[in-house]
Amino acid sequence: MVNKLVLGTMRLHEVTLDVSFWVQFFCEAHSLGVRKLHSSSEYESYPLLKEALSFLKKKHPHVEFEHIVKLAEPSFGDVGFEVGRLTKKVNDYLSDLQTAHLSVVQWMWRLNLNEDQIRIRDFIAACPCLAKEVEDLKLQNKIKQFMCFPYSVPFANSAIRIECIDGLVVYRNVIETEYDKSIELAAKLGKKSYILRPLAAGEALKNTNKTARELFEWALSHQGIEGAIISISKLEHIRDFASNS
């Protein structure tokens, strides 16, 4: 099951600012089978992550991770999609994370989230330009998969039908299941999904009698799910996910 675990990094700075702690943590997580990290340049933890990965590359070059990153284009405050901005943001991530390619871009079309139909309309209109830029990035081997974090079910169901969208990144846990039909639609189209918040930010542990491992397994149980993104700062929790029992 640990091969389905994507290690979230949003809260690194809340645990400790000690770079050496995180270098050792990543080394041990890697030895337990973790191979993917999730990050965002918008997170407060991002500078700490960059520093830890830089040290890791110098001192432990054999410890390598695939990267899943959050990337908004267009973002809040933008007028619309702008050709070239997506590529610049990808290049910034490649430089920051010192990696040759990004395994998954968790892409977001933001603008005004309260105007969902307008978001969908403008996204559809921009699709030819978006698809061309995504195709170019893939041909350059800078990104492997381009997946959509939709912010709404209607946007998810529109985006997943677009060829350049390789899958979805959505919430799924015993409390939040509103994207299940979208995940099913993606699977029918031969596309995968990653899920966020498999423990419902701890609420599922409080409101059910299930263990973290059981909740994690449940969240992954739907068809077509490639992995689950979860923030973990204790190695014993990773060992639990890695165990066969």
152-163 pLDDT, tens per residue?
A: 999 999 999 999
CATH code of the domain in which 227 resides? 3.20.20.100
SS3 category, 101? coil
> Which residue range(s) make up the domain with 63?
2-242
Enumerate residues 6+ apart whose C-beta is below 8 A from 27. Answer: 56, 60, 63
Torsion (CA) 116, 171, 67, 58 in degrees, nearest 10: 120
pLDDT band at 210 (very low <50, low <70, confident <90, very high): confident
Per-residue model confidence as pLDDT tens digits over 167-203: 999 999 989 999 999 999 999 999 999 999 999 887 8
Q: What is the mean pLDDT of residues 88-97?
A: 98
Does the pLDDT of residue 121 top 90, yes or no?
yes
Which residue, chain included where needed, has tokens 């061309």?
Answer: 132
Give the model's pLDDT for residue 212.
86
pLDDT band at 48 (very low <50, low <70, confident <90, very high): very high
What is the Cα–Cα distance from 212 to 202, expressed in whole angstroms?
9
Quick one: which H or E segment has residue 104? strand 102-108
Give the model's pLDDT for residue 245.
44
Enumerate residues 6+ apart whose C-beta is below 8 A from 58. Answer: none
Number of domains within the chain:
1
The pair of three-digit structure tokens given for residue 117, joined into one six-digit string: 């139909």
Peptide bond just before 154 cis, omega within 30 deg: no
Q: What is the phi/psi pair of residue 3, to 5°?
A: -70, -15
| Residue of 244, 216, 197 lying closest to 38 (CA atoms) | 197
Q: Which segments of 35-115 does DSSP mark as H helices, in order?
A: 46-59, 85-96
Does the pLDDT of residue 105 top 90, yes or no?
yes
Enumerate residues 6+ apart whose C-beta is below 8 A from 122. Answer: 80, 81, 109, 111
